[in-house]
Amino acid sequence: MITIALNLAIAMVTLAALLNVYRLIKGPDEPDRVLAIDTLYINAIALIILLGITLGTRMYLESALLIAVMGFVSTVAMAKYLKRGSVIE
């Protein structure tokens, strides 16, 4: 049963990532694109966790943590760039 649920979850998260890519391409403004990337990295974390359960290993959690930290910092940097025109003042 877990296998079926796992495959369903992977399918749904992948579909979600595709929808994010649609928003990333369509825009129409820069904040929309940044928001799409922000959601995309959170979906990537979900996919990594699902992959970890599928393979029965917890090795990938470290990379999920790294993506979480880096994704947040890059979102903040991009938002700040859009607002001020520079990242570090």
Partner 1 sequence: MSPFAEYAISALLIFGGAFTLVGAIGLARLPDFYTRLHGPTKATTVGVGAIMLSSVIYFSAMGEDIGISEILITVFLLMTAPVSANMLAKAAMHIGVNTLESTKGNPWEQ
CB of 89 to partner 1, least distance (A): 15
**Cα–Cα dist 69/88, whole Å:** 18
* Contacting positions for partner 1 (CB under 8 A): 1-2, 4-6, 8-13, 15-17, 19-20, 22-23, 29-32, 34-36, 38-39, 42-43, 45-46, 49-50, 52-53, 56, 58, 61-62, 64-65, 68-69, 72, 75-76, 79-80, 82-83
For the chain, how far is it from start to end, CA to CA, in angstroms? 54
Q: Would you tell me how many other CB atoms lie within 10 Å of the CB of residue 2?
A: 8
CB of 39 to partner 1, least distance (A): 4
